[in-house]
Structure 1
Amino acid sequence: MDVLGPFWTRISAEVPLPLEVLVGAAVAALVVVASPALWRPARTVVTIAHEGAHGLVALGTGRRLAGIRLHSDTSGLTVSAGRPTGPGMVLTLLAGYVGPGLFGLGAAALLATGHAVGVLWAVLGLLALLLLQIRNFYGLWAVLVTAAVVLGVTEWLPPTGQAAFAAGVTWFLLLAAPRTVLELQGARRRRAAPGSDADQLARLTRVPAVVWVGLFLLVDLAALALAASWLLVV
């Protein structure tokens, strides 16, 4: 208890975020998402969230998680064992492209209640769980580097700096999620993604893949709009 008490006080500390900080974080995240030079390395963070969402839902629906791989081209693969059809498989496939947006929405809920520091510790907890399932060297490196950055922020920045960083991460996930869906559809138009989540869902459900792409985009845009209403509307 002597250890847990101060730790809990630290991660549950309420740090108010002025509107100008939230707006500045949103602008910074938008620059990263819109800039080709910055987007390429930052996209790995979205892949981590994407594959992590697959893994969480696979476990939540009773499937056995066999491992997660992250690749240097920012693609990823989550392998789970269980029925090849049915609701569990559908939900697992559905989770990937909506995962980053929903993670961002959850982070926005914490920001809106003043628990910005808690966002960073929640990220560290999820990264620790993901690390147990990584099955390739690049994936291990990517998760460890991401965790090291977040841990460094929690150790070296004051609470206000941690809160601003958490806001940036939140906006990045919210803004990056729709872009990845648009990239998916672009790849599908070029016939470069025949095994995409949307195409696998189409084969499982007989609902056209473009409908699933539209659903991904709708969920991600709704998460962005809802988070913005929580954080930016005075």
Structure 2
Amino acid sequence: MEGTSLAEVWQDVFQVQSAPPPWLVIAMGVVALAVVLVRGPWRIARNVVTIAHEGGHALVAVLSGRTLTGIRLHSDTSGVTVSRGRPDGIGMILTVAVGYITPSLVGLFGILLLLDNRITALLWLSIVILAAMLLLIRNVYGVVSVVGTGAVVFLVSWFTPADVQAGFAYLFIWFLLFAGVRPVFELQAQRRRQPSPQSDADQLDRLTGVPGTVWVFFFGLVNVAVVALGVWLLLF
């Protein structure tokens, strides 16, 4: 980023960049898919999915009129968002239901910015969201995770040339798009191996009377549909 004054930075952030070559878009998609499928990289990158997941809970909690208490992110890539309000009702149902579909939906929103070639704007919007979320984090690991993610995005957006920014942005969005699917399979595997009444699906079971397995299927269906739409938008 070349701007030094606030006005120049603002202009740089919202200017339209040149569209990257198709091979770069495809290559970043392949890399992102590999990160999701390979255990080692996935174990690290899954922290980003947890941030998006808990961020979705937090946003809908606020929009539905609940009082947000805080967010905790854990080293095992789990997380919890605590809010106060009615223990049932549509607000609580939506708050719990949105977590597993948020990463894919964020990826889809990012695609809309990329298709308009607003690459730097996408990166800086991510930084702003992470900064807002940081105010809600209530544990040390969560702070490290959010600050670390934000620092990587900032360094790329500030110090790298446009083609590197484009590659990173497409990698980031491809990853969110694909990464929404794997946690749904992990959720169902965990429910079979070690049932927990605190999982999102089982909370929704108690709130709605609809079996948790149906909710897992719903999460998976939404995320797969979003992936299909995202692939079509980016490649066709």
Matches within 5 A, 1:119-198: 119-198=122-201
Provide the aligned C-alpha RMSD in A. Answer: 1.2
Equivalent in the alignment of 1:13: 15
Matches within 5 A, 1:1-234: 3-15=5-17, 16-233=19-236
Conservation of the 8 A alpha-carbon contact between 1:61 and 1:88? yes
* SS of aligned partner of 2:95: helix
Measure how far apart 1:4 and its partner are.
Answer: 4.5
Give CA deviations for 1:89-142 in whole Å, capped at 9, x if unaligned. Answer: 000001100010100000011111111221111110110110000000000011
Aligned-partner Cα distance in 2 for 1:24–1:107 = 17
* SS of aligned partner of 1:65: strand
- One-letter identity of the residue aligned with 1:10: D
Aligned-partner Cα distance in 2 for 1:164–1:137 = 31
Aligned-partner Cα distance in 1 for 2:213–2:177 = 21
Aligned-partner Cα distance in 1 for 2:208–2:175 = 31
Aligned-partner Cα distance in 2 for 1:125–1:228 = 26
> TM-score, normalized by length of structure 2?
0.95
Aligned-partner Cα distance in 1 for 2:70–2:124 = 23
Mark the runs of 5 or more structure 1 residues left unpaired by the alignment: none
Mark the runs of 5 or more structure 2 residues left unpaired by the alignment: none
* SS of aligned partner of 2:53: helix
Count of residues in Structure 1 that have an aligned counterpart in Structure 2: 232
- One-letter identity of the residue aligned with 1:9: Q
Conservation of the 8 A alpha-carbon contact between 1:184 and 1:193? no
Give CA deviations for 1:62-88 in whole Å, capped at 9, x if unaligned. Answer: 111000000000000000001100010
Identity across matched positions, percent: 49
Aligned-partner Cα distance in 1 for 2:8–2:234 = 28
> TM-score, normalized by length of structure 1?
0.96
